[in-house]
Amino acid sequence: LEAFIKQANNEKPLIFFVDELDRCRPDYAVEVLEQVKHFFSVPGIVFVLSIDKVQLGNAIRGFYGSEQIEANEYLRRFIDLEYTIPRPDTATFCTYLYHYFKFDEFINSKDRMHISDFRGDKQNIIKISTILFTEASATLRQQEKMFSHARIALKLFNDLSYIFPTLYILLIYIKNYQATLYKKIRNREFNIQELIDSMKEAYPSKISADDLRIFTYTEALLAFFYYNYYKKVDRSAKLIEYNNETRKYELSVNSITDKMNGDLTFLSIVESFNRSNFDQIELDFLLNKIDLLDNLPVQ
């Protein structure tokens, strides 16, 4: 091997990259490490191991059947120089994933850019993803998986469809992180107030003043579309009611985000939906796409 390197590599080192070793079977991972060790004494051979040390340590302890094995000491037999790649900023990574999966092909298409309601969709996708992923401490792989899911499901929308980006991403997030909650929403097991209260499981524990509006708006969207979806099960369900004495609409539920304004912002958003063409949209409009149950739109 040493002679081969000198002849074929112009005395440059021969570098082997071993990736994802921590994701292999424990016995296989340990076997690879032990085999690699035999080449350490050969000049000109370098091994670069791309690993998650915590997971590989678990594999080592699993292989030897003992939690007493000091995995870091074991790995020092193989690793001379260690370098940890810094974790990217979540907002930066979400922006990267947005472009990597080519969301702009749909979100910022020429036809959509002529409609003012759609112009904030890109910013809202990145912002809500960043907040939710940060709250959940989502791994890079989990973030990538959710963006991939969102991009695939996006193909089921017509070119000029509303996608309600903050609610769309929130529901995908719930499907991946709170599967039981998602199933209950899908099966209409909550009444409207129970649905709103259940968002305490999905929303950040602390919402900044800057982010309050986006979460109140998303909460109102969810409640409004769920109401349209749920009233087939319970015809007596109410989201807002008109008070003949005050001549104003009043909420039949309580918001979990709009406490500072006494639900007035939440109410005004719901009222605006009631006056718009949103009043015919049911939550399964989004759920069917997220679950990949809709047919592809005819182009």
The per-residue pLDDT for range 106-154, each reduced to its tens digit, is 999 998 989 999 999 999 999 999 999 999 999 999 999 999 999 999 9
Report pLDDT for 80.
86
Q: Whole-angstrom Cα distance, residue 121 to residue 108?
A: 8
The stretch 42-64 carries a mean pLDDT of 88
The per-residue pLDDT for range 198-238, each reduced to its tens digit, is 999 999 988 998 999 999 999 999 999 999 999 988 889 99
Report pLDDT for 238.
92
Q: Is a pLDDT exceeding 90 seen at residue 281?
A: yes
Report pLDDT for 252.
93
Q: Is a pLDDT exceeding 80 seen at residue 163?
A: yes
Cα within 13 Å of Cα(106), Cβ side = 21
Q: Whole-angstrom Cα distance, residue 163 to residue 155?
A: 11
Mean pLDDT of the chain: 91
Residue 43 binned pLDDT confidence (cut-offs 50, 70, 90): confident
Count of CB atoms situated within 10 Å of the CB of 174: 22
Q: Higher confidence at residue 2 or residue 115?
A: 115
Report pLDDT for 184.
97
Q: Whole-angstrom Cα distance, residue 229 to residue 232?
A: 7
Count of CB atoms situated within 10 Å of the CB of 193: 15
Query: What are the residues facing 48 on neighbouring strands?
Result: 17
For 99-108, 204-213, 284-293, which range has the lowest pLDDT when averaged over its residues? Answer: 204-213
The stretch 58-62 carries a mean pLDDT of 87
Q: Is a pLDDT exceeding 60 seen at residue 299?
A: no
pTM: 0.82
What Cα–Cα distance (Å) separates residue 244 from each residue in 196, 247, 264, 273?
26, 5, 18, 21
Report pLDDT for 41.
79
Residue 105 binned pLDDT confidence (cut-offs 50, 70, 90): very high
Report pLDDT for 72.
86
Residue 66 binned pLDDT confidence (cut-offs 50, 70, 90): confident
Q: Is a pLDDT exceeding 90 seen at residue 76?
A: no
Q: Higher confidence at residue 133 or residue 260?
A: 133
Report pLDDT for 261.
67
